[in-house]
Amino acid sequence: MNVLRNEKGFIKVAFILAILALCIYVGIQLGKPYYRYSVFKSDGTEIARVGLGDVKRTQTMLFDKAKELKLPLEEDDILVVVTDKRVLVKTSWSETVDFFGIYQKELNFSIDIEA
């Protein structure tokens, strides 16, 4: 019983563990959308290079990748423009991160690829 009340006791350890768990939770919740953004951007650059100048094929491949990553994008949201020697890809989306139903943070992502 004495262990629970002294300065090296249970309450201090439990408080520190709760703060640590909260930080890990927030990091994971914020990290997932940024990870998906990073993967989509790098794979989008590769798809734009491999698309061989075919607008519809490139757009379809990008949309399939967005569906795989569960991004809130429609096929019409992805703009693909082919110029003389370049392929331009533009798209943007928003994701809302929910923290225990108490606080919501909207994250806006935009991709502007030139390959």
Q: The sheet that has 79-82: what strands, in order across it?
A: 79-82, 87-99, 103-114
Q: Which domain holds residue 34?
A: 2-114
Structure tokens given for 33: 């959308």
* Angstrom distance (rounded) from CA 53 to CA 68: 23
Per-residue pLDDT of the chain (115 residues; tens, 9 = 90+): 455 555 667 778 888 899 999 999 999 999 999 999 999 999 999 998 887 778 898 999 999 999 999 999 998 899 999 888 888 999 999 999 988 888 899 999 999 998 8
* Angstrom distance (rounded) from CA 50 to CA 57: 10
Phi, psi of 86 (to 5 degrees): -130, 155
User: How many domains are contained in the chain?
Assistant: 1
Angle (nearest 5°) at CA 48 between 76 and 84 = 100
